[in-house]
Amino acid sequence: MELKGKTALITGSAKGLGKRAAEELARCGCDIVLNYRTSADDAEALARELESRFRVRSRAIRADLALPGEAAELAREALRLTGRVDILVNNAGPFIRERRVFGDYEEEEIIALLHGNLLGAMLLDRHLLPAMRERRWGRIIHFGFGHAMEGRAWPHRAVYAAAKTGLVSFTKTLAVEEGSHGVTVNMVCPGDIRGDYKEKSIADVQGIADDDSPLGRPGTGEDVARVIAFLCLPQSDFLTGNIIDVTGGFDPIRTSIKPASPG
């Protein structure tokens, strides 16, 4: 219960990696503020489960960080309901799985991807930093993708990759600026963890083969959540400005594209 008395806000936490992070932080004693965009029933059910299983307080708040203004509203409502946010996990971020070149994106898609993956996180940080500074204690975790720190070309993912690599620089800068205030800032970069595996434990995948993974097994939500919880511990205060790949050695970036067929 190393984090008992702390409150964590995890964006995009009704399902997937955000849900698993919320469970892990609740296991450490954190009160939890969940955030959802459309999955109200899942978020409310998870809040009840966390309170029952871990004897912590939990609330769910709707906000879409891809929309201007909603980061401020999420921060205000989280502080109103709980009085404090000590840990902020910026997990939410829209992603278009369909592979397409930049010229085929619609303007509104570009804006939503940038807001959801970069600007929304930056603004939420800005709204919650003052109270962290005042208490001289805070943990901010951003989400990237495997090998984001290298800033390589990622064809068909131009906007998403640009937003997240921009967040890499912001993570490092904010870590330097806020270190003297007792606030650490790090980025966790999951590999290609899909579908149900986002909520599974490491024990769940023992014996399951994954030929794409150098480790030979699929990645899970627990792999990511355990790193997040470690970074949030009081004893982890010397770790800041880090970009941590949680990929099992797998490289998700495809840096070449096949030429279009003539005609």
Return the pLDDT at 261.
Answer: 54
| DSSP-based three-state secondary structure for 211 | coil
Q: What is the pTM of this model?
A: 0.93
Residue 210's pLDDT is: 81
Closest by Cα among 136, 154, 137 to 145: 154
Q: Which pair of tokens denotes residue 23?
A: 């469970």
Is it the case that residue 181 has pLDDT exceeding 90?
A: yes
Q: Give one DSSP letter per residue of 97-120, joined into a string.
A: -S---GGGS-HHHHHHHHIIIIIH
What are the Cα distances from residue 103, in Å, to 99, 115, 159, 259, 261? 12, 19, 11, 15, 17
**Selected residue with higher pLDDT from 253 and 144:** 144
What was the pLDDT predicted at 260? 54
Instruction: Give residue for tokens 């014996």.
Output: 207
Average pLDDT, the chain: 93
Q: Which fold has domain 7-246?
A: Rossmann fold (3.40.50)
| Amino acid identity for residue 100 in this structure | R
Give yes or no for residue 87 having a pLDDT over 60.
yes
Residue 86 · residue 8 · CB < 8 Å:
yes
Whether the Cβ atoms of residue 224 and residue 202 lie closer than 8 Å to each other? no
- The enclosing H or E element of 8 equals strand 7-10
Q: 231-251 pLDDT, tens per residue?
A: 999 999 999 999 999 998 878
Band the pLDDT of 256: cuts 50, 70, 90. Answer: low
CA distance 195 to 23: 18
Name which of 75, 70, 157 is nearest 115 in CA terms. 70
pLDDT one-digit tens code per residue, 166-177: 999 999 999 999
Return the number of other C-beta atoms located less than 10 Å from residue 146's C-beta.
21
Distance from C-alpha of 226 to C-alpha of 229, rounded to nearest angstrom:
5
Per domain, the residue ranges of the chain are 7-246
Give the Cβ contact number of residue 166 at 10 Å.
Answer: 17
